[in-house]
Amino acid sequence: MNFERGFKTWAERTSASLRQELKLLPHEPLSPTVLAGYLDVALWTPVEVPGITREVVDQLLNQDPWGWSAVSVYRADRAFVIYNPRKSAGRRASDIMHELAHLILSHQPATVVMSQDGSFVMRSYDQAQEDEANWLAWCILLPRDALLRCRKLDLSIAEIAEQYDVTETLVNFRLRMTGVESQLRAASARRRFR
């Protein structure tokens, strides 16, 4: 993941700003549902999509439930996130927040091209935009300051994941990528040698 200079800092600041706007403390969890409401984005499962056929719902939720996560769509000047309810709560939080991050970042939506008979679909894919959306989503779900506070309180990975409604994998990733664990180890080592 290569980002433009300053993007990671901007993402952390954006996470803090959103919490401030929503009257949350800097370390409080921010659920995708609350953020979606604040951004006026509707969250739908496939069965809630108007006009969707039973066959498509069956394909998405029964035939291939692990082949997709979430998607943003626009309809009548409003954004909607359609998410996979079959994923775990932690994974759903990450998937929905990823789509909300695309909207916050004003990313161009992917282009979908379908064959004339509807049997083949291609979608454009911008890896840089996907990486940015992931990073911002994960900063919003698990801000660095919140992780630092949790580790100072000696919360386990599982406890942090439960408190923030995310996966343990995401907690481990954020701890590693933010340098929180290294910072705490260095502080502990300095205290030992005093």
* Whole-Å CA distances, 12 to 20, 38, 47, 66: 12, 18, 35, 30
pLDDT value of position 89: 95
Q: In a structure prediction context, what are the per-residue pLDDT tens digits for the chain, which is 194 residues long? A: 788 999 999 999 999 999 999 999 999 999 999 999 999 999 999 999 988 999 999 999 999 888 889 998 888 888 999 999 999 999 999 999 999 999 999 987 766 555 566 555 556 678 889 999 999 999 999 999 999 999 999 999 999 999 999 999 999 999 999 998 888 888 777 777 76
CB environment 78-106: b (16+ within 10 A), e (fewer): ebbbbbbeebeebbbbbbbbbbbbbbbbe
Of 119, 42, 110, 122, nearest to 79 (Cα)? 42
**DSSP-derived secondary structure for 111-161:** PEEE-TTSS-EEE---HHHHHHHHHHHHHHHS-HHHHHHHHHTT--HHHHH
pLDDT value of position 174: 96
d(CA 141, CA 24): 13
d(CA 32, CA 36): 6
pLDDT value of position 65: 87
Q: Are 32 and 43 in contact (CB under 8 A)?
A: yes
pTM for the predicted model, two decimal places? 0.88
- Amino acid identity at 34: V
Multiple choice CATH, 7-141, 1.10.3470, 1.10.10, 1.20.120, 3.30.160: 1.10.10
Q: What is the C-alpha radius of gyration for the chain, rounded to an integer number of angstroms? A: 19
